[in-house]
Amino acid sequence: MTEAVGLRQQVRCKNDSALNETARLGLRAKGVARAAFTRVGLKTRPMRVFEAGGLRLRFPNAPGFCEAVLVNTGGGMAGGDRATIDLALESDAD
């Protein structure tokens, strides 16, 4: 089994007083996008994809390298919204 190289990023917006009350009430958006990539033949392709909340991953059928486009279906980020993005590459992926 090959080892995966991972990248994790969490994005948070700040605006303290009103944000804390809104977040306490649970009215903020939480999105998750995860993908693992591996080599299939001569190309790198997504092997596993998970999406939750307002985040979506789209994979254009572009020549060359594998590309992923992150889409926020909520239209933007506001104070207290959270986005978690996890990407992993198998050792043979490029």
Confidence of residue 72 (pLDDT cuts 50, 70, 90): very high
Rounded alpha-carbon distances, angstroms, from residue 47 to 18, 57, 85, 93: 41, 13, 16, 11
Min mean pLDDT across 7-16, 23-32, 61-70, 71-80 is at 7-16
Highest mean pLDDT among 19-28, 47-56, 57-66: 47-56
Query: Mean pLDDT in the chain?
Result: 80
Percent of the chain with pLDDT over 70: 72
